[in-house]
């Protein structure tokens, strides 16, 4: 078991290990005292893990309720968010109570926003159940729902007060969903750690899972403690994501976040090399890492359609856009460029 401390506007522990869900009741008592808990989960995760979570809360006599919504990105919506808020109100939750996001990134983002909004803020605990949520979305405090105009357009920063990553939960993931988390791990390797990248490229992830999750969380924790509100260095975490968000949106969310990130990382690395923005030809190694982990290495959309979708994305403000390009594996730089220049980079 490993514990990583995140030092943002709130300080909190991320506890990583096999079976750490069993700490749930004890930790809630320690951190919040005598409170009521609302577990929020999608239908798939609820059927697998909500009884277990309730059991650990019950052992400490913590009263709890369960809010369940349909799985999938479509539920990261204002409609489901308001259903959650109405549920909390109907069950008479107060500001001192706790909301637990038990699930993947969709559950974490939706619940995090709900916890910030209900009575102007309840306590939030994240229990990520996908690899992607463990290494990325459960840590750092970004929460959001999607609007018709685009992804993550309605959200706030809301740090959790505890994150429990129980690695045993990864055993029930399909290999496709597991791989989507690997895309984010490859991202951490490219932006900050060549050794981590090599390990994943060489297919040695599973036997090193605890150390890999801990390494990703500490990279994220270092970046978030320097730039919690995403005004500078935190942008590095968007490597591959600017194009990924457009890919997801254009596919009407049929292409998952992880697969879109894989495509986005590869596209931007190819562009960076062609335009002499990289010191090293990174795309070949990235292709090897993606193929080793059953991730896609081609994108179904043209550069021109991606450009127009990106133009509408929230990251493009006042005619400029931040893109993250790899200088070499383990080191990326942030370029803030005019949209016209971005268009040129895409050879339009």
Smallest separation (angstroms) from ligand NAD to the CB of 185: 12
3-state secondary structure 271-317: HHHHCCCCCCCCHHHHHHHHHHCCCCCCCCCCHHHHHHHHHCCCCCE
Tokens of 161: 């007060």
* Residue (258 or 264) nearer to ligand NAD, CB: 258
Q: Which is nearer to ligand NAD, 198 or 230 (CB)?
A: 230
Beta carbon of residue 145, minimum distance to ligand NAD (angstroms, whole number):
9
Determine, following the binding rule CB under 6 A, whether residue 71 of this chain makes contact with ligand NAD: yes
CB of 187 to ligand NAD, least distance (A): 10
- 122, with CB counted inside 10 A (0-12, 13-18, 19+), is buried
Show the tokens assigned to 97.
């109570």
Count the neighbouring beta carbons within 10 Å of the beta carbon of residue 75. Answer: 19
C-beta closer to ligand NAD: residue 71 or 194: 71
Structure tokens at 66: 């369960």
**3-state SS of the chain: helix, strand, coil percent to 5?**
50, 20, 25
Strand partners, 337: 321
> What's the CA gap between 261 and 239, in Å, rounded?
8
Q: Residue 323 CB, nearest distance to ligand NAD (Å)?
A: 18
CA distance 346 to 340: 10
Label the pairing between strands 320-328 and 331-338.
antiparallel
Stretch that binds ligand NAD, among 81-89, 93-101, 132-140, 283-291 (CB under 6 A): 132-140
User: Which secondary-structure segment (H or E) carries 342?
Assistant: helix 339-345
* Nearest approach, Cβ of residue 63 and ligand NAD (Å): 25
| Choice between 64 and 130, CB closer to ligand NAD | 130
Site string (20-49) toward ligand NAD, x via CB under 6 A = ----------------------x-xx--x-
CA 79 to chain CA mean position, Å: 21
Q: How far is CA 289 from the centre of its chain?
A: 20
Return the residues of window 207-266 that contact ligand NAD according to CB under 6 A: 257-258
* Of 50 and 283, CB closest to ligand NAD: 50
Q: Let me know the angle formed at the C-alpha of 276 by 275 and 278, rounded to the nearest 5 degrees.
A: 115
The yes or no reply on residue 137 touching ligand NAD (CB under 6 A) is yes
Strands (E), the chain: 2-7, 11-17, 37-42, 64-69, 98-103, 123-128, 142-147, 150-157, 162-166, 320-328, 331-338
Task: Tell me if 172 contacts ligand NAD by CB under 6 A.
Answer: yes
Residues 86-105 that bind ligand NAD (CB under 6 A): 103-105
Least distance to ligand NAD, CB of residue 277, Å: 25
CB of 329 to ligand NAD, least distance (A): 21
Nearer to ligand NAD, 141 or 345 (CB): 141
Least distance in Å: CB of 131 to ligand NAD? 8
Interacting span for ligand NAD (CB under 6 A) from 30-38, 66-74, 192-200, 298-306: 66-74
Residues 173-202 that bind ligand NAD (CB under 6 A): 173, 177, 180
Residues 273-332 that bind ligand NAD (CB under 6 A): none
Query: Which residue is nearest to ligand NAD, using beta carbons?
Result: 105
List residues near ligand NAD by CB under 6 A.
42, 44-45, 48, 71-73, 76, 103-107, 109, 129-130, 132-133, 136-137, 140, 142, 152, 169, 172-173, 177, 180, 257-258
């Amino acid at each position: 078991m490993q514990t990583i401390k995140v030092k943002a506007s709130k300080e909190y522990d991320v506890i990583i290990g096999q079976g750490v869900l069993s700490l749930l009741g004890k930790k809630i008592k320690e951190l919040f005292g005598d409170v009521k808990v609302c577990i929020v989960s999608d239908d798939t995760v609820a059927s697998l893990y909500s009884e277990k979570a309730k059991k650990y809360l019950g052992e400490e006599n913590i009263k709890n309720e369960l809010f369940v919504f349909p799985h999938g990105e479509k539920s990261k919506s204002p409609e489901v968010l308001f259903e959650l808020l109405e549920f909390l109100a109907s069950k008479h939750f107060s500001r001192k109570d706790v909301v637990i996001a038990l699930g993947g990134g969709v559950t974490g983002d939706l619940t995090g926003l709900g916890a910030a909004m209900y009575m102007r803020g309840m306590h939030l605990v994240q229990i990520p159940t996908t690899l992607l949520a463990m290494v990325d979305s459960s840590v750092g405090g970004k929460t959001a729902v999607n609007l018709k105009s685009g992804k993550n357009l309605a959200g706030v920063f809301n740090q959790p007060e505890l994150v429990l990553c129980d690695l045993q939960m990864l055993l029930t993931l399909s290999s496709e969903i597991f791989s989507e988390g690997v895309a984010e791990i490859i991202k951490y390797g490219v932006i900050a750690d060549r050794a981590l990248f090599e390990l994943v490229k060489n297919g040695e992830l599973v036997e090193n899972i605890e150390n890999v999750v801990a390494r990703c969380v500490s990279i994220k924790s270092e970046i978030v403690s320097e730039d919690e509100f995403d005004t500078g260095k935190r942008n590095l975490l968007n490597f591959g994501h600017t194009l990924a968000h457009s890919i997801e949106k254009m596919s009407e969310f049929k292409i998952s976040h992880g697969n879109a990130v894989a495509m986005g990382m590869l596209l931007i690395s190819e562009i960076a090399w062609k335009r002499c923005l990289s010191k090293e030809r990174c795309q070949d190694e990235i292709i090897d890492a993606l193929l080793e982990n059953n991730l896609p290495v081609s994108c179904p959309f043209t550069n021109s359609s991606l450009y127009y979708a990106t133009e509408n994305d929230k990251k493009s403000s006042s005619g400029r856009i931040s893109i993250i390009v790899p200088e070499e594996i383990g080191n990326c730089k942030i370029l803030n460029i005019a949209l016209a220049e971005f268009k040129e980079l895409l050879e339009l």
